[in-house]
Homo-oligomer: A and B are copies of this chain.
Amino acid sequence: MIRISIDAMGGDFGPETVLAGAAIALERHPDIRFVIYGLAEQVEPVLARHPKLQAASTFHASEIAIRMDEKPSQALRNGRGKSSMWQAIEAVRDGAADVCVSAGNTGALMAMSKFCLRMMANVERPAIAAIWPTLRGESIVLDVGATIGANAQQLVDYSVMGAGMARALFEIKRPTVGLLNVGVEEVKGLDEIREAGQILRDVPLAGLEYSGFVEGNDIGKGTVDVVVTEGFSGNIALKTAEGTARQMADLLRAAMSRTLMAKIGYLFAKGAFDRVREKMDPRKVNGGVFLGLNGVVIKSHGGADAEGFAAALEVAYDMVRNELLKKISADLSQFHESRPLAATVEGDAEIEDQQ
Contact = CB atoms under 8 A, between A and B. Distances in A.
Interface of A: 71-72, 105-108, 110-111, 128, 133-135, 145-148, 180, 182-191, 215-221, 229, 231-233, 235-252, 255-256, 258-259, 261-262, 264-273, 275-276, 279-280, 354-355
Nearest to A114: B186
Given A184-B235, A265-B270, 20 more contacts: A72-B186, A108-B185, A180-B236, A182-B239, A183-B239, A187-B231, A215-B236, A216-B235, A216-B240, A216-B243, A217-B246, A219-B240, A240-B241, A241-B243, A245-B248, A251-B275, A252-B276, A255-B275, A265-B266, A269-B269
Contacts of A233: 232-233, 236
24 contacts: A71-B185, A106-B186, A107-B187, A108-B186, A111-B186, A128-B184, A146-B186, A148-B182, A187-B232, A188-B355, A215-B235, A215-B236, A216-B241, A218-B243, A220-B240, A220-B243, A232-B233, A237-B240, A240-B240, A247-B280, A255-B276, A258-B272, A261-B268, A265-B268
Contact of A187 (B146, B275, B276): B146
B190 A135 contact: no
A190 B353 CA distance: 9
B265 A187 contact: no
Given A134-B247, A241-B240, A266-B265, A354 B218 contact: no
Contacts of A185: 71-72, 105-108
B147 A187 contact: yes
A247 B220 contact: yes
A280 B248 contact: yes
A298 B125 CA distance: 41
Contact of A265 (B71, B180, B269): B269
B262 A232 contact: no
Contacts of A229: 236
A269 B276 contact: no
Most chain B CB atoms below 10 A, which of A183, A246, A272, A280: A272
Contacts of A215: 235-236, 239
